[in-house]
Amino acid sequence: MELVALQLNAGADWNANRQRIESLLERLPVSRPLLVQLPENAVVFGGRKAVLSVAEPLGEGPVQDCFAHWAKRLGIWLVVGSMPTRIEGSDKLHTSCLVYDEQGERIACYHKLHLFDVDVADGHGRYRESDTFAPGNELCVVDSPFGRLGLSICYDLRFPELYRALREQGADILMVPAAFTRVTGQAHWLPLLQARAIENQCYVLAAGQVGEHAGGRQTWGHSVILDPWGEICACLPNGEGLIVASLDRQRLDSIRRQMPVAQHARLRAVWRDKK
């Protein structure tokens, strides 16, 4: 079983992004089963107007049909890092991570919990996702041939309690599609990912955006696959491309058995007792 992360330099035009993704999918390994992750903003990486132009109701629309077609034609599990989905009765959208099985069926959807409303010392400067998006309010862990997938998106990475909750729900692989800025990525991307892998004893699959984008945005790239010990299995620092790493279930089980931190965790029990 192999894990794959696609690194993209997406722009504001879905058709151009689709062609980029298709060219990378043509380079996938021949082995199956295969778990393939696209980064955050894989569909469109632009301003509000561009986002609204491709946003679809969950479960219908040509963009989602395209993802389902790719998954079925290639016989892969496809995790779409994020695309904008419409919320009935609201002018806001969700940033949604979609999971398709090898039959092209969408089996899970996760709406990004934590919105990136921050100021960064880069060419873009001010980020306010909440101007366009609404946060989700549910965790999502998905059964798959690879183990249980714990879903998250980009800025979620800074909230360790989310990943502990995913681990408590049985996650084996933490999915972290992202569009980390160059400034924050250089400072924090790899340390945060390694911390999430080590403290939860999970594989981490993190596909990122890379390079220069519209509106002065610069993304860090460095897509990476980590094992449950926090070791780097594969990494792509720059440029579009893909990385591949094998899933070693025996190593995962061995690490958890030899250092059973999930069973040793006591903080929640202490809080309960104090109440």
Active-site annotation, residues: 40, 112, 154
Residues whose CB is less than 8 angstroms from the CB of residue 19 and which lie 6 or more positions away in sequence, other chains included: none
SS3 186: helix
CB–CB of 40/51 below 8 Å?
A: no
Residues whose CB is less than 8 angstroms from the CB of residue 30 and which lie 6 or more positions away in sequence, other chains included: none
Question: What is the enclosing helix (H) or strand (E) of 256?
Answer: helix 249-258
The span from the CA of 117 to the CA of 110, in Å, is 19
Angle at CA of residue 218, ends 15 and 71, nearest 5°: 35
SS3 161: helix
The span from the CA of 82 to the CA of 169, in Å, is 22
CA dihedral over 19, 21, 27, 28, signed as positive or negative:
negative
The span from the CA of 203 to the CA of 38, in Å, is 16
Please, what's the b/e burial string for 97-111 (b: 16 or more CB within 10 A of its CB; e: otherwise)? bbbbbbebebebbbb
